[in-house]
Amino acid sequence: MLPEKTVTVEKTLAELDPGETGRVLGIEGSGVLAQRLIDMGLYPGVLAVMLRRAPFGDPIEVEAEGAYITLRKDEARFVKVKKSA
Amino acid sequence: MSKKTIALAGQPNSGKSTVFNSLTGARQYVANYPGVTVEKMTGWYKRKGETVEVVDLPGAYSLTSYSPEERVTRRVLLHDPLSAVINVLDAANLRRSLYLTIQLLEMEVPLILALNMMDVAESQGVGLDVQGLSKELGAPVVPTVMTRGRGREELLDAVADMSKISNLSKNSARSSAAHLNLYPKAASALKELEELLAAEEDLRTDFPVSWLAIKLMEGDSEVLESVRERTGSDRLVVRAHELRAAFEAEHDLRPELYISSQRSQRAAEIARRFEKRRGSDKVPFSERVDRVLCHRFFGPLFLAVIVYGFYYLSFVQGYNLTHYVWPILAGFRSFMEGILPQPGLIELPVFREFVLWIVDNANALLNYVPIFFILFALIAILEDSGYMPRIAFILDRILRRFGLHGQSTLSMILGGVVLGGCAVPAVMATKGIPDEKSRLATILTLPMLNCQAKLPLYFLLISIYFNETVRLPFFGDVSQQSIVIVFIQTISLLFVLPIAKILSMTVLKNMETAPFIMEMPPYHVPTFRGVLGRAIERVWLYIRKITTVVVAIAVVLFVLLHFPGLTPERKTHYEAEKDQAVQAFLASVQGKSLAEELKTEEDVLSLILFQQGYRNLLRSGAKPETREAYGEKNPAFFEIIQNRKSEEARSIERELKKLISFRSTTLTAIRKERIDNSVLGQLGRALEPISKYAGFNWRVNVAVLSTLAAKENSVSTLGALYVKEETGAEADSDNGDTLEARMRDQEEDFTPLHAMALMLFMVLCPPCLPTVMAIKVQTGSTKWMLFSFFFPLLLGLLTAILVFSGGSALGLDGFQAMWRFYLIALSLTIIMAFFKPKSQNKAELWLALRKGGDRTHGDAF
Ligand SMILES: Nc1nc2c(ncn2[C@@H]2O[C@H](COP(=O)(O)OP(=O)(O)O)[C@@H](O)[C@H]2O)c(=O)[nH]1
Ligand SMILES: [Mg+2]
């Protein structure tokens, strides 16, 4: 549905570097986490921009369609993204 | 006149509270929803002869049953008879806001959309098709800028119109059809559930059937439970489980995640259709600010500057303000002194003592009101501006190492991490911490921060016992005082951090944790009204604490300190001494012309009181005219105490001074004896066998016992125990120097080591009763309340014993013991920072996530 013309790599959100962009493929597991992330705007299909890591390295802040969300790397690891090169 | 109720719903930071305040003005009250610590704000307004009650629902991103806020919101929407629900949307972020709107529409509530923050949207070049949006959603849409009251009237009109049209039935047919379109993969399952539900008489009338169907499909525990209860059978629940399992097997995706994702996409699609973004994608203002304020290097730097600014404005400038408040409070005390029964020569009327005791206790606390006001106003600015979540973002990594949470920061600032705060609002502010485990760790350690009320004792002890100068490498000569102040300021953090970690590894081990996911709200310029309102609200909370609990405890303490009082024999003994002294005075002034009016004991007493009145006048820096006017009240007395030239006047004054000095010594002796005998004095003595290892004598014990009411009491109780005023009743409790001198003189055995042990005990000291009560409210558990009291008590005692007994054994003085203790605490903190328990947090998270099988949920699009 949304073809990426450029080369793409599958990663987790925690692995993106600041400035990189990825499309959310899905959220691993099935607990509260996935529901919370979707409620906050990080739903499968959305384009997420990794904005920054906190000064001490964790948590991270991402932007998805105007929603600015911070989450710890522990949680970000569950979010699978397709990195847009 | 009819009464209507409307509710405000919206995501956090959409401006709900602003709408609420604009609609209701100052007519509002706050309570908690029954059983949960979620605040319920209710207000009302009158318009065209109609009274409308407004309920501000808690901010919610969604309407699942996962968080208490969302559950509360849902319950109100379902069960309260609402004539309208205003959904406040952030126009600058339509997609995000619509996610909740879609769920509200599914619930078929009479919805009005307030498209708020239109100004922000405009400034970002976002245009919105209001009519189009209204038609698409089938609900009235009112654009507003609520900070400036724009759109308020239109919104009120929409509420008034709402009750006229009852389009519920129309609504539900349409929304049912919409669902089937929105969730195509689940359409057949939803349809089946709807039919089953529609057959249930009870359910159909009380709830929108299509909404119930969706919730059953989502596996919402609360809805499943209530369906089971209402239908009295498992049939529907079982069928829902089957349908969910079938869905999951077919699509490899849990139905609730599918449904949420569909809503997100629908929200995005509607937003795309009705907003017109002019110009290129400009980076929003807040994001540009965050590039600096959350920057690797500048972020922490800016935070440090903010913390310093806090400290400077509230404690340096705020302290200056207390110079203006104190005269008012002292004036009130003088006024009370004037109207209360007057003291006798050595008789102090109990009623007088009692009222002045209460006034002194209250004054000591009220004196801090300006500091608190500034502090709370600054915190409100931090909250309203949106900087608070940035602090959480920056500090989470560090705090998490100790079992705390990024969002513990607000509480810690309120609690006095910067030196001076109050644990009561701090404990209340933990409400915002989503993770139960770190929330409890925060609550239980907050009272160990240096609240405002602990400071007077520190200052008292430091100024008496740490006066020397020490030579430090690099710094040269530094006074011990400033080093000890830095020590006290930072040591509380060195307690809080490792203790929080230890607690979360032990007693809190099995508490629920939650993932850290937080939205970064856009920055806003705080409004004057909002900041002022919040500051006043919190100061009011503090004042209420004084007027209720503190005063009540002061009464109890007074009783415990005064009874049983002197024995009759001792009373007679003092009476005899007094008579002797008075007779001696009368004899010595006999025959002197100025002393004509001095015949009886009463005359002598009025002379003494006259002299004291004049002295107070001088001390307050009265003008010559005022002094003269005072003198005219009794020219003969004025001659005696004022005329330095006449030999006769001088000799009478000499005799008078002797008598006054006798009076004050006797009053002190009486008071001491009374406290010695008192219930509290006995208790303090009874504790001495244990407390002596911590270096506390019975007086200190009494002072410590009195701090349980409010920490401020430590100094005022010590003040009462170390009395040596010349005037007896007119205690200079405001005058620190006097108490310092008194304490030094009367407590020769007390060394800096004693003082150090006492200060460390005070840091840990159990929370005062108001805090304990706040803890009860916030934890909802008596067990934690008791723990929060006895744990620090034990810990404080052990620490004081370690410092005092250990220090004595090693022959250390207070200062040496201090820095050795500091090194221990610092090492413990560092060890705790690196100590990783068997990755509790992560393990639990994994477990929670893996429960339903190991797979990726995606392909929803
Ligand atoms: N520019 C602008 N700011 C607003 C508007 N409405 C609210 N705000 C600000 O947005 C912030 C969040 O508002 P608040 O009412 O606390 O949101 P709540 O979390 O939904 O209760 C506050 O700083 C408000 O001053 C508006 O219409 N325009
Ligand atoms: Mg609010």
Provide the CATH number for the domain around residue B165. 3.40.50.300
Of B295, B517, B858, the CB nearest to A44: B858
ipTM value, please give it: 0.91
Q: Could you give the number of structural domains in chain B?
A: 3
CATH number of the domain enclosing B198 = 1.10.287
**Mean pLDDT confidence for B690-713:** 80
Residue after which a domain boundary falls, among B131, B149, B169: B169
Task: Assign B641 a pLDDT band (cuts: 50, 70, 90).
Answer: confident
Rounded Cα distance between B614 and B629, Å, is 11
Which amino acid would we find at residue B550? V
CA-based nearest residue in chain B for residue A66: B93
Please report the pLDDT score of residue B537 as a whole number.
80
Among B639, B674, B709, identify where a domain stops: B674
How high is the pLDDT of residue B213?
92
A83 in helix, strand or coil? strand
A66–B520: do the CB atoms touch at under 8 Å?
A: no
How many CA atoms within 13 Å lie on the side-chain side of B189? 26
Let me know whether B206 and B93 are in one domain.
no
Q: Among A37, A61, A66, select the one facing B95 at the smallest CB separation.
A: A66
Residues B161-195: tens digit of each pLDDT: 886 655 444 454 455 556 668 888 888 999 999 89
DSSP for B771-784?
HHHHHHHHH--HHH
Q: Nearest residue CA, atom 2 of ligand 1?
A: B117
**Considering the domain boundaries, does residue B131 fall inside one?**
yes
Least-confidence region, from B97-106, B435-444, B706-715, B727-736: B727-736
Does the beta carbon of B17 sit less than 6 angstroms from any atom of ligand 1?
A: yes
Shortest Cα–Cα distance, B353 to chain A (Å): 57
Listed in order, strand segments (DSSP E) in B499-588 are: 517-519
Q: Which chain A residues have a beta carbon less than 8 Å from that of B59?
A: none
Using the predicted structure, report yes or no on whether residue B324 has a pLDDT greater than 70.
yes
Residue in B397, B524, B839 to test binding to A, most A beta-carbons within 10 Å? B397
Which residues have a Cβ under 8 Å from the Cβ of B576 and sit 6 or more positions away?
Answer: none
Q: Does residue B43 sit in the same domain as residue B79?
A: yes
Q: Output the CA torsion B383→B385→B376→B790 (10° steps).
A: 20
Provide Rg for chain A, Cα atoms.
Answer: 12
Q: Is residue B499 part of a domain?
A: no
Q: Same domain for B9 and B126?
A: yes
Tracing tokens 């305040």 back to the chain, one arrives at B21
Mean pLDDT of B117-141: 90
Residues of B in contact with A40 (CB under 8 A): 61, 517, 519
A2 neighbourhood in chain B, CB within 8 Å: 861
Which stretches does DSSP call E strand in B442-576? Answer: 469-472, 476-479, 517-519
H or E segment and range at residue B262? helix B255-274
| Inside any domain, residue B222 | yes
Whether B15 and B164 share a structural domain: yes
Residues in Cβ contact with B556 at an 8 Å cutoff, skipping those fewer than 6 apart = B709
Task: Find, in chain A, the residue whose alpha carbon is nearest to that of B395.
Answer: A56
Q: Work out the burial of residue B78: count CB atoms within 10 Å of its CB; fewer than 13 is exposed, 13-18 middle, 19 or more buried.
A: middle
Residues B86 and B224 in one domain: no
Helix (H) or strand (E) holding A68: strand A67-71
Q: Which of B674, B691, B714 is the last residue of a domain?
A: B674
Count chain A–chain B contacts defined by CB atoms under 8 A. 176
Nearest ligand to the C-alpha of residue B9?
Answer: 1
Query: Which of B540, B502, B447 is CA-nearest to residue B772?
Result: B447
Is there a single domain that holds both residue B30 and residue B101? Answer: yes
Quote the pLDDT of residue B526. 87
B694 lies in a domain? no
User: Ligand 2 is a single-atom ion; what residues have CB below 5 A from it?
Assistant: B 17
CB contact (8 A) between residue B518 and residue A70: yes
Please state, in angstroms and rounded to a whole number, the distance separating the CA atoms of residues B419 and B421.
Answer: 7
Q: What is the pTM for the complete model shown? A: 0.79
Sign (positive or negative) of CA dihedral B195, B196, B199, B201: negative
Q: Domain extents for chain A?
A: 8-79
Say if residue B574 is in the same domain as residue B655.
yes
Whole-number pLDDT of residue B34: 54
Residue B791 lies in a domain: no
Task: Render pLDDT for B348-372 as a digit per residue (tens, 0 to 9).
Answer: 888 888 888 888 777 777 777 887 7
What does each C-alpha distance from B518 to A41, A42, A69, B398 come to in angstroms?
11, 12, 6, 17
Q: Which domain holds residue B196?
A: 174-251
Residues B95 and B243 in one domain: no
pLDDT reported for residue A47? 93
What does the H/E/C string look like for B637-677? Answer: HHHHHHCCCCHHHHHHHHHHHHHHHHHHHHHHHHHHHHHHH
Residues B89 and B59 placed together within one structural domain of the fold: yes
DSSP state of B186: G
Whether residue B16 has pLDDT greater than 50: yes
Contacts of B277 in chain A (CB under 8 A): none
For residue B593, tell me if it sits in a domain.
Answer: yes
Q: What dotted CATH number matches A8-79?
A: 2.30.30.90
**Cα angle for residues B71, B72, B74 (degrees, 5° grid):** 65
pLDDT at residue B178 in the model: 65
Instruction: Give a yes or no: residue B142 inside a domain.
Output: yes
B133 and B49, same domain (yes or no): yes
Task: Please state whether the peptide bond connecting residue B143 to the residue before it is cis, i.e. omega within 30 degrees of 0.
Answer: no
Q: Which residues, at least 6 apart from A50, have a Cβ–Cβ distance to it below 8 Å? A: A13, A16, A17, A18, A19, A20, A21, A22, A60, A62
Same domain, residue pair B103 and B242 = no
Q: How many Å is the Cα radius of gyration of chain B?
A: 34
Q: Which residue has the tokens 């109609």?
A: B50
Could you say which DSSP state residue B575 is in?
A: H
Interface of B with A in 84-123 (CB under 8 A): 92-93, 95-96, 99
- Assess whether the C-beta atom of B116 lies below 6 angstroms from ligand 1: yes
Percent of chain B with pLDDT over 90: 26
Count the neighbouring beta carbons within 10 Å of the beta carbon of residue B822: 15
In this structure, are B143 and B54 located in the same domain?
yes
